[in-house]
Amino acid sequence: MGLPSNASPPRRPESETSERPRSVARRDATRRAPRYAGMLRLLALALSAATAQAACKAVTLDFLLLDGNSVHAAIEDDIRADLAVIGIDVVSRAVDRETFNADMVAGNYDMVFSETWGAPYDPHSFVASWTTPDEAHYSALPTAGIDTTQFAADVADILSESDAEARQAKWTTLLSSIHDEVIHLPLFGRRIPSVTTRSRLAGYAPGYQQFDYPIHKATVVSGSKTVTVAPGAQAGLFTSVGRLDPNSS
């Protein structure tokens, strides 16, 4: 703050000399106007944030998607919007299933959707599948500095361990290393829906696996013993026996 042109500067007390430490003078000036000190602190924070943002490199991520999957498309939209807030540009790339599988196995992506296999596969068979070039897990391991050969050896060692406590300890070590590298980010779960006429059927409950319909547990309680079943498959309703494997039957 300046002084009027006709004002004389205040007289310094006789006890105060020019040898007064400058740091004390600055401290007193801050004490006289604490609101200005607060403004300076806010300005410093704003400048540091602006400097950090300017120093950050632009990041663009390739988000590999399966074309036509409405669930993935709806979730991808939110992920892309959230990352844009922190300056990360997500480029979504929807491709056909053949290209999707090939790029996923080869690691041609930055982000991709995958899913667990569900009971009765977890955890042994599911984690063991990460040791072979299949889906996204195998290709994601090297990006976190995990050696795939050593990882496969560790999994084999766990699967051959007969002592329950030792096996649990090894599982904890291996899965913790995966968790710490944030290779997988859990997003949502999937239910297996079923619609039944309760007045006709009793005892039916959906199976634990996808496309698992334990109709043998159902009992007809009224009406005809002939029951119409319309099970779903990967491509819609069943039209044939399919590949006769547990993943797509």
Q: Which residue has the tokens 């990882």?
A: 151
Q: For 98-120, how does the pLDDT look when each residue is reduced to its tens digit (9 = 90+)?
A: 999 999 999 999 999 987 776 66
Does residue 30 register a pLDDT over 70? no
Top-confidence residue, 157 or 192: 157
Report d(CA 174, CA 94) in Å as an integer: 33
Report d(CA 151, CA 140) in Å as an integer: 12
Report d(CA 115, CA 118) in Å as an integer: 9
Q: Which two tokens stand for residue 237?
A: 């309703």
Report the DSSP beta bridge partners of residue 62: 91
The HSE-up count of residue 63 (CA atoms within 13 Å, CB side) is: 19
CA angle 188, 108, 124 (to 5 degrees): 50
Express as a percent the part of the chain with pLDDT over 70: 67
**Residue type at 96?**
D
| Average pLDDT taken over every residue of the chain | 77
* pLDDT confidence of residue 247: 53
Q: What is the DSSP string of 65-131?
A: EETT-HHHHHHHHHHHHHHHHTTEEEEEEEE-HHHHHHHHHHT--SEE------TTTTTHHHHHGGG
Residues 6 or more apart in contact with residue 144 via CB below 8 angstroms: 181, 182, 183
Report d(CA 227, CA 245) in Å as an integer: 25
Q: pTM here? A: 0.60
CA angle 133, 134, 137 (to 5 degrees): 90
* pLDDT confidence of residue 3: 41
CA angle 114, 116, 120 (to 5 degrees): 160
- The CATH number given to 42-113 is 3.40.190.10
Q: For 86-99, how does the pLDDT look when each residue is reduced to its tens digit (9 = 90+)?
A: 889 999 999 999 99
Report d(CA 131, CA 138) in Å as an integer: 6
Mean pLDDT of 162-187: 91
Q: For 114-169, how does the pLDDT look when each residue is reduced to its tens digit (9 = 90+)?
A: 877 766 666 788 888 899 888 888 999 998 889 999 999 999 999 999 999 999 99
**Among positive and negative, which fits the CA dihedral 117, 123, 125, 127?**
positive
